[in-house]
Structure 1
Amino acid sequence: MGPLLYKKIYHFIKEQIDSGQLKLGDRLPTEKELSEEFGVSRITSKRALAELEQEGLVVRTRGKGSFVAEKSVTVSSNKRDILLILPFDSDYELGDYARGIMTVLAEKGYRLMVQLASAVVATDLSQYAGVIYYPEDVNHSIDFLFYCDYHQIPLVLLDKQVDLFSFPTVVADNKGGAYELTQHLMQQACQEILFIATESFGEVSSVRDRYLGYLAAMAEMQRSGSYFSKENSEDSIAYLDRLVEHLLANGEQKTGLVVENDWLAIQLLQRVLQAGLSVPDQVAIVGFDNSQASRLITPNLTTAAQGFYMMGQEAATLLVVQMEEPDKPVHSQQIPVQIFIRESSQL
């Protein structure tokens, strides 16, 4: 029962600090007072105070007692676990974030734990020194990010920016990559070039930035950009089927498609071929991510490769600074992308 009883004291005091009932510099009850109030041994109350001290929530001075510490006090050095939160089962398909992160953390003596976003609600974040978080979108992330911001948990965002919070972010150059891919389609004499996406621009910043890159390339050539939008009642299959109907109606006109990611581009490529359209003669398709599937499908998919390994390294570096030098400013980083021209857009 000991661990349960000490945790009861720990959570009681922590909630008082979080709610503001106990303020900076306030003196906490002594070990003796806590043991009497909760009906436990002094060893149990001492353990609760020791854990609060390890987390930087209180400071203890011999002969004077325990006091609420400044919230900016950094995490205790005995915490060596870092949590990487991903929205998908594995980062194998989308890159090598974890390996890049581990190369930095290993040098600093930290360990990396990986968890799905769906399981985070049941996770005690107090056991981690910091968090690297790949948000699915704004709607699925706001509660978690508010919690981390309120409790001043060191955190770095991967892949997407969430403007509501000031957490540093490591992203790929989504805008520059889409700009280059759009320019490539222009060079392939595409008479119409459409941007294809099912994600909301307001919720997913990476897709929004790719759309901006597409628009910038179109504007530079004095051409109007066009987003083939998904209707509210449509699922992805209906959306792609309607797009294929549009392509069939174009006749001999060559159409270029800048698709938000490889996953959607591959589905579209298969439907275009099933409809009897020629790729890339009639329809030229480009994706984004350079997934393994983009290299295996026939025809191979033209795409932009994000530097996942480098992004992981940068995220870990920013997080270490937050944890070990909390007063030092950290800045978001943008990592260049590499364009791979393949058969889906050029013979």
Structure 2
Amino acid sequence: MATNQNKYQTIFADLRAKIWSGYYPANQQLPSENELAQQYQVSRITSKRALQELADIGLVQRRQGSGTFVRRGLRLRAKTGQILLVIPFAPESGLGDYITGIKEVLTPNQEELTVIENQSFDFDHPQAFADKYDGIIYYPQDLAAELVQLQKFALAHIPLVLIDQTAAGLPIPSVVADNTQGGYLATQTLIENGHERIIFLATAHFAHSLNSSVAQRYFGYLQALMEQDLTFAITPQEATHLTENDFAALPAFIAANQITGIVTEHDLLALDVLDFIQAQGLKVPDDLSLIGFDNITRTATSRPQLSTIRQDFQTIGRQAATLLQQRIANPFDPEIKQVTVPVNLIARQSIKKRS
């Protein structure tokens, strides 16, 4: 015997299918609650719930005194089976394997992935991308600067998911690593190894972009220091100043402040710092302990091997592709999901316990 729950779901599924098939086009009025109740032999409460569920996922609009209408901005797009990944580095660079995780989701659905670098992405013609791709996974280089362009895709309801960067309240789904946790883990590890004079280094000027991944890593650095009642901390301005002009100011700062531990915004910077420090006659980890962020392939072959915070790139890719599938199924869903993926520390040879 069918329950009211099953009956409401049947009405909901039938109407949703008719909307996506074009049977009910944009701005078309749907049958009333009473008409649906008679058609499906259910109570008005049941038919009302089905219509409300359609409104809750953004497919219809309930207009007081007029009825229920298919949303006026509904556009039906033919599926191409093509997904686009836009990243700021070549896939073979070893800087992050998002592709494996993305393909785990796409392959069972017989969807294909195209990968391009950011400089090849044409912001000015969103419709051209919509005609060619079912959805886009996008890795911003500077979200604050790119948002003006990305909003064109969002306003056109082109399925779009961000990876690596997001902002609180941004109405675009995103998947990011837990950057605050990463900065905290790196700093806390140094503290546990007896380091109290620790600096955070960055090349990105993050003081005016507090939603950025670099800023979040810096906040984790501050949190670890605060928890242990350590009062020495580098400022955001100092963090970037010390990396400028090929680290010109870094040796004097290390000496004057008796620095013994360094956390960097990412591994590429950490590797550059490692080369610079050793060229100055200092030793890692004997004189300075050093931790990067990302766990790129070069960290396992550097001398010494670099300790780093590992982002789970494959899980980020898998989660991003899953969110994108949901947006493709309904790009008008008002629920904007933001997923945060945990990180973990890879301890190698660049950390030494202070006696």
Q: Give the TM-score normalised by structure 2.
A: 0.72
Measure, in 2, the Cα distance between the counterparts of 1:239 and 1:254.
19
Report if aligned partners of 2:205, 2:237 keep a CA contact under 8 Å in 1.
no
Report if aligned partners of 2:159, 2:328 keep a CA contact under 8 Å in 1.
yes
Measure, in 2, the Cα distance between the counterparts of 1:71 and 1:88.
35
2:216 alignment partner, SS class = helix
Equivalent residue for 1:79?
A: 80
Report if aligned partners of 1:302, 1:343 keep a CA contact under 8 Å in 2.
yes
1:156 alignment partner, SS class = strand
Bigger shift: residues 319-328 or 234-243? 234-243
CA deviation map 1:211-233 (0-9, x unaligned): 11111111101113523555799
Equivalent residue for 2:31?
A: none
How many residues are treated as equivalent by the alignment?
281
Equivalent residue for 1:3?
A: none
From 147, 150, 153, the equivalent of 1:148 is: 153
From 326, 330, 333, the equivalent of 1:321 is: 326
Structure 1 residues 71 and 91: alpha-carbon distance in aligned structure 2, compared to 1, 3 A threshold = farther
Measure, in 2, the Cα distance between the counterparts of 1:257 and 1:72.
52
From 63, 70, 73, the equivalent of 2:72 is: 70
- Aligned 1:102-141 pairs, distance under 5 A: 102-121=103-122, 124-126=128-130, 127-141=132-146
1:215 alignment partner, SS class = helix
Equivalent residue for 1:21?
A: none
Q: Give the TM-score normalised by structure 1.
A: 0.74
Measure, in 1, the Cα distance between the counterparts of 2:332 and 2:151.
21
Measure, in 2, the Cα distance between the counterparts of 1:195 and 1:214.
7
- Aligned 1:23-102 pairs, distance under 5 A: 70-73=72-75, 75-76=77-78, 78-90=79-91, 92-102=93-103
From 169, 192, 195, the equivalent of 1:187 is: 192
Structure 1 counterpart of 2:120, one-letter code = A
Measure, in 1, the Cα distance between the counterparts of 2:325 and 2:232.
42
Structure 1 residues 278 and 222: alpha-carbon distance in aligned structure 2, compared to 1, 3 A threshold = same
Are 1:217 and 2:224 matched, yes or no?
yes
Equivalent residue for 2:66?
A: none
Report if aligned partners of 1:134, 1:160 keep a CA contact under 8 Å in 2.
yes
Bigger shift: residues 169-178 or 274-283? 274-283
CA deviation map 1:134-185 (0-9, x unaligned): 0001244123312111211110000111447311110111111111111111
Equivalent residue for 1:339?
A: 345
Bigger shift: residues 139-148 or 304-313? 139-148
Question: What is the Cα deviation at residue 330 of structure 1?
Answer: 4.6
2:80 alignment partner, SS class = coil
Structure 1 counterpart of 2:340, one-letter code = Q
Measure, in 2, the Cα distance between the counterparts of 1:142 and 1:330.
16
Are 1:255 and 2:260 matched, yes or no?
yes
Bigger shift: residues 201-210 or 211-220? 201-210
Structure 1 residues 74 and 173: alpha-carbon distance in aligned structure 2, compared to 1, 3 A threshold = farther
Bigger shift: residues 291-300 or 121-130? 121-130
Structure 2: unaligned runs, 5 residues or longer = 1-25, 29-69
Are 1:272 and 2:267 matched, yes or no?
no
Report if aligned partners of 1:197, 1:228 keep a CA contact under 8 Å in 2.
no
